[in-house]
Amino acid sequence: MEAIAEKKSYQVNDRGYYGTFGGAFIPEMLYPNVEELRENYLQIIADPSFQKEFNDLLRHYVGRPTPLYPAHRLSEKYKTNIFLKREDLCHTGAHKVNNTIGQILMAQRLGKKRIVAETGAGQHGVATATVCALMNLECIVYMGELDIERQAPNVARMKMLGAEVRPATCGSRTLKDATNEAMRHWINNPVDTHYIIGSVVGPHPYPDMVARFQSVISEEIRWQLKEHTGKETPDYVVACVGGGSNAAGAFYHFLDEENVKLVAVEAAGLGLTSGHSAATVALGKPGVLHGSRTILMQTEDGQVVEPFSISAGLDYPGIGPQHAWLAASGRGTFLSATDDEAVQAAFELTRLEGIIPALESSHALAVLGRLGASKDETVVLNLSGRGDKDMGTYMKHID
Amino acid sequence: MNRIVSLFQNFNKHTDGAGLLNVYFTAGFPELDDTTRILQALQDGGADLVEIGMPYSDPVADGETIQQSNDRALENGMSVRILFDQLKNMRGMVSVPVLLMGYINPVLQYGIEAFCAKCAEVGVDGLILPDMPMDVYLDEYKSIFDAHGLLNIFLVTPQTSEARIRQIDEVSEGFIYTVSSASVTGSKSGVSGDMEAYFEKLDAMNLRNPRLIGFGIKDHDTFVKASSHAAGAIIGSAFIRVLQQSTDLENDVKAFVREVKNSSEAIPA
């Protein structure tokens, strides 16, 4: 984790911005909480006792390092060299737990007694409820009323883990409304509560803090790839983006190596022009959402548009400010995959490699044929989560 | 002189009543074209300032009551453009100071410069944009606000540090919006002992700006109590509830304002 202390050009600046994106656009009621975090997070992360506890938990509890698997049959199909970073093998089934481990240790050091979080599909909610059980902290998870109906197994997991799941009943009753409710809860409980945001979104320092906790993904990719190929850097790093935490972690240690192409894949839903999409970079404009200046899907009048995707984890109308900057600066390439393309890609990986991916990760898999990678090039694809939670959707497509 | 500044300068608690009353309502609620009717009725009832909310899809600083009024107004088709159109003859109707309250994204999409110019054109006196950071305001927007004679109203809360209160006082003009407790709008009611200690702390700081207390003010008693610690108070959610239930908008609005300002003169709705 030593390299993360370095200042990099695509990293956050002193004022909390990535180029023109980022900042802390928050009401005064949240200012002291966010300011407390901003003043302390770098020092806490750098503390050797924090590093030891974080790394020990990642190793012995989460199961890190996760494998970097050379996917031979997939490589054969796409006539290139594809490596899968197996975040799907993390405890709780996705990369989300890297962040919740980091943030629960942060909350303890800030003296907080209670955790609040938002969740869409429930993956971040489960990862948060898990670390709260581990650390014996009270846990409240806000979830859109509609999502509670759609994601019953994850609601049950959170409850079994001891979390209180509170429905967000206003607005569209999905992830963005759960995020609003979690922010309101934090406003109402400013002293004893820490808000564990699940992605690289929200006011500074959240996007940077979450990216740092997820940066273990690219840190491992570098030495693992060297073991496989003799070279630390691939030609492509591919990851799906909703808010963008798995992509932020997979890109982190390659940001300043311009020969590494960073490819982010958004959820196109039923298609970019269908009116039912979650492809923020393709369809959005700069503005302010959930505390940062970023790119978001909005009406001409600046009202936030409800996104659509088959994958609840990508069903978010914004994107982390660092990703907005990667898109605007041209450093990152932003592609999109439709619901159907993602499902097809999920079946392809399952039949070729015996790995059932999460619907989110399937969006990244869906663009493999579009990269233009040659037989001499190397592609690392971040397989952010496993597909157990999506079996209901996949079953509908089994002949 | 800006109407807000002159209102506070000319107000005398000994002769003019318990305090200044600022009433919030959401533009385009309950019906799209109710905005100016409510504004007129608020002035007629005796409101000293009016805060018109620009509805937003994701109002994080607001509680359920105001969020629901925002959702309803958006369903009615409300937008910043329509609001300016509704307010175009406002200064032929009312003389009360008017603030626009809202979240920054719709303002950014309209364009800060165009938005401020339009505010000046229709006679808006100030803005409350709770999610606009102070540094962004000072670096990028203050000169535009100033050029159009618009005041930016900052908030302080019980958690705001003394140093930051001083900083806010330094850059504020008009009044400081004093949030009574750690909460979103409409979630708690009344004025507790903790709040009184916080109000007294603010009093003792001898700030240059007058203060209006908001959040949890709902009737005559809470208005008078809050006003004893500040220049006056702000009512939002409680008034939205009146609008929700109203069957005779003009009279209900006037009766509510009269009752809050002076319960003995209350006129039954």
Using the Cβ of A14 and the Cβ atoms of chain B, whether some distance falls under 8 Å is answered with no
- From B137, B122, B228, B236, select the one nearest B179 (Cα to Cα): B236
- Chain A's closest residue to B67, CA to CA, is A170
Using the Cβ of B253 and the Cβ atoms of chain A, whether some distance falls under 8 Å is answered with no
Residue range(s) defining the domain that contains residue B96: 3-11+20-260
Whether B211 contacts B230, CB under 8 Å: yes
**How far apart, in whole angstroms, are the C-alpha atoms of residue A261 and residue A191?**
43
Whether A209 contacts A41, CB under 8 Å: yes
Composition of chain A by helix, strand, coil, percent to 5:
45, 20, 35
Cross-chain CB nearest to B71 (options A170, A176, A298): A170
Cβ atoms within 10 A of the Cβ of A155, count? 22
For residue B189, the model assigns a pLDDT of 61
Whether A30 contacts B157, CB under 8 Å: no
Cβ atoms within 10 A of the Cβ of B113, count? 12
Please give the residue that has the higher pLDDT: either A40 or A172. Answer: A40
For residue B16, the model assigns a pLDDT of 82
Annotated domain spans of chain A: 30-56+96-209, 65-94+215-395
Mean pLDDT confidence for B9-14 = 88
Q: Which residues of B208-242 are buried (b: 16+ CB within 10 A; e: fewer)?
A: ebbbbbbbbbbebebbbbbbebbbbbbbbbbbbeb
For residue B268, being part of any structural domain is answered with no
Neighboring chain A residues of B135 at a CB cutoff of 8 Å: 15
**Cβ within 8 Å, pair A188-B131:** no
For residue B151, being part of any structural domain is answered with yes
Q: Tell me what ipTM this predicted complex has.
A: 0.93
User: What confidence tens digit (pLDDT) does each residue in A48-61 have?
Assistant: 999 999 999 999 99
For residue A171, the model assigns a pLDDT of 78
DSSP annotation of B46: T
Domain total of chain B = 1
Whether B60 contacts A27, CB under 8 Å: yes
- A65-94+215-395 matches A30-56+96-209 in CATH topology: yes
Average model confidence (pLDDT) across chain A: 95
For residue B194, the model assigns a pLDDT of 81
Using the Cβ of B71 and the Cβ atoms of chain A, whether some distance falls under 8 Å is answered with yes
Neighboring chain A residues of B79 at a CB cutoff of 8 Å: 301
Phi-psi region of A92 (alpha: psi -120 to 50; beta: other; left: phi over 0): left
Cross-chain CB nearest to A180 (options B60, B133, B156): B60
The confidence band for A64, taking pLDDT boundaries of 50, 70 and 90, is: very high
Count CA atoms within 13 Å of residue B121 on its CB side.
Answer: 12
**Cβ within 8 Å, pair A28-B179:** yes
What token pair was written down for B225?
Answer: 């109590």
A65-94+215-395 in CATH: which number? 3.40.50.1100
The yes-or-no verdict on residue A348 having pLDDT over 90 is yes
First CA to last CA distance, chain B? 36
Cross-chain CB nearest to B182 (options A25, A29, A286): A29
Q: Which A-chain residues 230-289 have CB contacts (< 8 A) with chain B?
A: 285-289
Cα A205 to Cα A91, A192, A202, A390: the distances in Å are 26, 19, 8, 32
Peptide bond into B30 cis (omega under 30): yes
- Chain A's closest residue to B187, CA to CA, is A188
**How far apart, in whole angstroms, are the C-alpha atoms of residue A111 and residue A113?**
7
What are the backbone angles phi and psi of residue A85, rounded to the nearest 5°?
-85, 115
Please give the residue that has the higher pLDDT: either B185 or B208. Answer: B208
Residue of A114, A174, A184 for testing the chain B interface, max B β-carbons within 10 Å? A184
Name residues whose C-beta falls within 8 Å of residue B26's C-beta, 6 or more positions apart in sequence: B52, B53, B55, B66, B69, B70, B72, B73, B240
Neighboring chain A residues of B57 at a CB cutoff of 8 Å: 171, 303-304
User: What confidence tens digit (pLDDT) does each residue in A222-258 have?
Assistant: 999 999 999 999 999 999 999 999 999 999 999 999 9
For residue B44, being part of any structural domain is answered with yes
**Cβ within 8 Å, pair A24-B133:** yes
- Chain A's closest residue to B83, CA to CA, is A301
Cα B147 to Cα B107, B127, B142: the distances in Å are 17, 14, 8
Burial class (CB in 10 A: 0-12, 13-18, 19+), B87: buried
Mean pLDDT confidence for A111-115 = 96
**How far apart, in whole angstroms, are the C-alpha atoms of residue A234 and residue A100?**
28
CATH of the domain at B154: 3.20.20.70
Using the Cβ of B64 and the Cβ atoms of chain A, whether some distance falls under 8 Å is answered with yes
The yes-or-no verdict on residue B265 having pLDDT over 60 is no
Number of Cβ pairs < 8 A linking chain A and chain B: 112
**How far apart, in whole angstroms, are the C-alpha atoms of residue B29 and residue B21?**
21
**How far apart, in whole angstroms, are the C-alpha atoms of residue A158 and residue A256?**
38
Any catalytic annotation for residue A118? yes
For residue B59, being part of any structural domain is answered with yes
Using the Cβ of A28 and the Cβ atoms of chain B, whether some distance falls under 8 Å is answered with yes
Which residue type, as a one-letter code, is found at position A275?
G
**How far apart, in whole angstroms, are the C-alpha atoms of residue A140 and residue A158?**
10
For residue A8, the model assigns a pLDDT of 52
A30-56+96-209 in CATH: which number? 3.40.50.1100
Name residues whose C-beta falls within 8 Å of residue A96's C-beta, 6 or more positions apart in sequence: A90, A123, A124, A126, A127, A198, A245, A385
For residue B204, being part of any structural domain is answered with yes
Provide the β-strand partners of residue B126: B99, B151
For residue B269, being part of any structural domain is answered with no
User: What confidence tens digit (pLDDT) does each residue in B107-148 have?
Assistant: 999 999 999 999 999 999 999 999 999 999 999 999 999 999
Phi-psi region of A328 (alpha: psi -120 to 50; beta: other; left: phi over 0): alpha
Out of B16, B44, B48, B51, which one is annotated catalytic? B51
**How far apart, in whole angstroms, are the C-alpha atoms of residue B42 and residue B38?**
6
- Chain B's closest residue to A303, CA to CA, is B57
Using the Cβ of A70 and the Cβ atoms of chain B, whether some distance falls under 8 Å is answered with no
Out of B34, B62, B125, B169, which one is annotated catalytic? B62
**Cβ within 8 Å, pair B159-A191:** yes
For residue B265, being part of any structural domain is answered with no
For residue B267, being part of any structural domain is answered with no
The yes-or-no verdict on residue A150 having pLDDT over 90 is no
Using the Cβ of B104 and the Cβ atoms of chain A, whether some distance falls under 8 Å is answered with yes
**Cβ within 8 Å, pair A298-B68:** no
Bridge pairing between strands A285-289 and A261-269? unpaired
Any catalytic annotation for residue A96? yes
**How far apart, in whole angstroms, are the C-alpha atoms of residue B64 and residue B70?**
10
User: What confidence tens digit (pLDDT) does each residue in B200-224 have?
Assistant: 999 999 999 999 999 889 999 999 9
Mean pLDDT confidence for A265-276 = 97
Provide the β-strand partners of residue B21: B233
Q: Which residue has the tokens 């220049």?
A: B231
Cross-chain CB nearest to A25 (options B104, B157, B179): B104
Residue of A29, A183, A289, A300 for testing the chain B interface, max B β-carbons within 10 Å? A29
What is the least distance, in Å, from the CA of A11 to any CA of chain B? 20
For residue B263, the model assigns a pLDDT of 65
Any catalytic annotation for residue A384? yes
Peptide bond into A65 cis (omega under 30): yes
- From B5, B86, B101, select the one nearest B50 (Cα to Cα): B101
What is the least distance, in Å, from the CA of B225 to any CA of chain A? 22
Out of A85, A96, A176, A389, which one is annotated catalytic? A96
Cross-chain CB nearest to A25 (options B71, B131, B155): B131
What is the least distance, in Å, from the CA of A71 to any CA of chain B? 43
User: What confidence tens digit (pLDDT) does each residue in B218-245 have?
Assistant: 999 999 999 999 999 999 999 999 999 9
**How far apart, in whole angstroms, are the C-alpha atoms of residue A362 and residue A200?**
20
